[in-house]
Amino acid sequence: MPKGLESSHASALRDQLEKLRELQYPSADLALDGDSLDVATVVAVARHGLTPHVKNDPEIQRRILQSIRVLDHHMDSGWVVYGVNTGFGGSADSRTEQLKKLQISLLQHTQSAIITASDLARGQIDQDGQSHVVPSAWVKAAMVVRANQNLRGHSAVRIAVVETLLSLIQHDITPMVPLRGTISASGDLMPLSYIAGTLVGDPNISVTVGSGDDRKVMPACDALKQCGIQPIELQPKEGLGLINGTAPSAALASLVIHEANQLAVIAQALTAFTADCLLGNVEWANEFIHRIRPHTGQVEAARNIRSFLQSSNFVVGLDTKKRTGQGLWQDRYSTRTAPQWIGPYLEDLALAQRQIEVELNSTSDNPVIDIGIYNDHAAGEIYSGGNFQATAITSAMDKTRTALQMIGRMLFSQCSELINPATNNGLDPNLVFGDPDESYTMKGIDVNMGAYMSELASLAHPVSSHIQSAEMHNQGINSLAFLSGRRTMEAVDVLSHIH
């Protein structure tokens, strides 16, 4: 990234990329504490082999132990606690004294989505190149996020359970999680239930061990045994504490926003490149224009584009104003209004990242435990609420997907302008290398771009308008955050083609 890009979105991305590079050093260490996870760290775990562990901090141990004691006090007092001695969701009017069996029952009824035989035989990809399984990187990201959230001490999940969860990452054991089947309402119950099922050594849960050509598919119980990991026995609330949360959606959103931010900066560089190729009059990037309409993103985009153009020998209007000449006096909209076009979406991307990073360090299950005063478990309280509703992530992903579509539309227009001899300021038709009567160099790419743009536009519609009531109408509203993340990752891929 060129020097001079000191503004908020670009500088934040630069810092993120620098941190990611540092996290790939052999000496890199990731100690989770429940409060300091960020996008770069999630990407490092998911895609670059960084192995996390629990921070050696007595305060973490204290708050987790205290949360368990508060729960035990409620049980000893004969009080009702949702999901511990009640049924789940719309069945919460039932009661039970079989507290441990209830947690296993929870896993069993949420492990209900579809993985096909071909997924298991081929390790995620079927004969048509399709998959019904969540990509391994997404699952690893979800595991580190869930571990971090559970360390906050509001869930009554033992540190030993969190350490076992992290040991899956350390041994490259990845639960095979169905791609479809979560509405991200009571968190992502279904995806997390397959991860929790791995922890208990459920023989009906399949995992992959290793990567590349050495990757093998096997039952969870066999993988744990092979790697010397002791299966956990769920205590009251631990099943619920593991699976009732937003971790899969927040994890996927982290991977998405990391890519989206890079595409946004590249789009500004491509805008400068387009202006260069068209011998543009780039006074539209002049600081004065954006100072008198001081939207943060617009000012930043103009500054970034000026920086990319700084060494150009082809544009005019950057340092000295054009006074005379023939032809089109001002550049067309696809470049001239680029700062105004892309600027609001830089602001949206920055907000989306803030929403995601808050979620990475939040307690997102239900019920949640206020541990109260140290060593006085009787002073603690347990509250039923809705922190599992992942709408913050839906909001982040829907606005990111819209941003990607708008960036793509700008680049599509710029590309069309470059290829079309009626608008490309004297360049050869179709940007041919030879005789234009015999060569049509970029004509195929012109058609390709139309296909990419149509697909990208089809993905831009917000998923929040497609919500359906679920689970006995108990989950009458649900966020669809994971679906929004999936669609936005698709948009990242399509926009990468346009770039």
Q: What are phi and psi of 136, to 5 degrees?
A: -55, -40
Q: What is the CATH number of the domain that holds 231?
A: 1.10.275.10
Closest alpha carbon to 183 in 419, 491, 465, 467: 467
pLDDT digits (tens, 9 = 90+) for 94-143: 999 999 999 999 999 999 999 888 888 865 555 566 789 999 999 999 99
Based on the domain organization, do 270 and 229 belong to the same domain? no
223 with 306, same domain: the answer is no
- Residue 15 in domain: no
In the chain the first and final C-alpha atoms are separated, in Å, by 17
Q: Distance between CA atoms of 398 and 246, rounded to whole angstroms?
A: 16
Helix (H) or strand (E) holding 356: helix 338-360
In a domain, 281, yes or no: yes
Helix (H) or strand (E) holding 219: strand 216-219
Give the pLDDT mean for 297-312.
95
* Helical axes 247-277 vs 391-419, angle rounded to 10°: 20
Contact 50, 31 (CB under 8 A): no
Indicate if 232 and 317 belong to the same structural domain: no
Rounded to whole angstroms, the maximal C-alpha distance in the chain is 88
How many C-beta atoms surround the C-beta of residue 427 within 10 A?
18
% the chain with pLDDT above 70: 97
Q: Which of 199, 215, 245 is where one domain is finished?
A: 245
pLDDT of 324 strictly over 50:
yes
Q: What is the predicted pLDDT for the residue at 427?
A: 82
268 DSSP assignment: H
- For residue 449, the model assigns a pLDDT of 92
**How buried is 128 (Cβ within 10 angstroms: 0-12 exposed, 13-18 middle, 19+ buried)?**
exposed
Global confidence as pTM: 0.94
Residue where a domain stops, chosen among 214, 245, 276:
245
State the pLDDT confidence band at 266, using cuts at 50, 70 and 90: very high
Position 4 confidence tier, pLDDT thresholds 50, 70, 90: very low
pLDDT of residue 329: 79
366 in a domain, yes or no? no
Q: b/e for 190-223, b at 16 or more Cβ within 10 A?
A: bbbbbbbbbbbbbeebbbbbeeeeeeebbbbbeb
CA angle 98, 100, 103 (to 5 degrees): 110
3-class DSSP state of 216:
strand
Query: Does residue 292 sit in the same domain as residue 218?
Result: no
The mean pLDDT of 304-320, rounded to a whole number, is: 90
Task: Determine the 3-state secondary structure of 151 from DSSP.
Answer: coil
Q: Are residues 53 and 179 in the same domain?
A: yes
Q: State the DSSP code for 206.
A: E
Please provide the average confidence, as pLDDT, over all residues in the chain: 92
Mean pLDDT of the region 78-100: 92
Q: What is the dihedral of CA 211, 213, 214, 217, to 10 degrees?
A: 80
If you average pLDDT over residues 254-267, what whole number do you get? 98
Residue 437 burial (CB count, 10 A): 8
Give the separation between CA 351 and CA 399, rounded to whole angstroms: 9
The residues, any chain, with a CB within 8 Å of residue 456's CB and separated by 6 or more, are 404, 405, 408, 491, 494, 495, 498
- Give the CB-side neighbour count of residue 114, counting CA atoms within 13 A: 6
Average pLDDT over residues 413-425: 89
Residue range(s) defining the domain that contains residue 80: 37-245
* pLDDT class of 1 with cuts at 50, 70, 90: very low
* Mean local confidence (pLDDT), 367-380: 86
Cα gap 132→125, rounded to integer Å:
8
Rounded to whole angstroms, the Cα distance separating 453 from 261 reads: 19
Which two three-digit tokens encode residue 236? 């009251």
* Spatial CB neighbours of 435, under 8 Å, sequence gap ≥ 6: none
Question: Which of 84-93, 129-138, 354-363 tops mean pLDDT?
Answer: 354-363
Determine the Cα–Cα distance for residues 249 and 364; give it in Å rounded to an integer. Answer: 11
pLDDT at 129: 64
5 pLDDT more than 50? no
Q: Does residue 260 contact residue 488 with C-beta atoms inside 8 Å?
A: yes
Q: Give the model's pLDDT for residue 2.
A: 47
Condensed to tens digits (0 to 9), the pLDDT of residues 444-477 reads 888 999 999 999 999 999 888 887 887 777 777 7
Position 327 scores a pLDDT of 75
Q: Is 317 inside a domain boundary?
A: yes
Q: Are 195 and 324 in a shared domain?
A: no
**Catalytic residue list:** 82
The residue from 221, 245, 269 where one domain ends is: 245
Residue 181 lies in a domain: yes
pLDDT at 120: 86
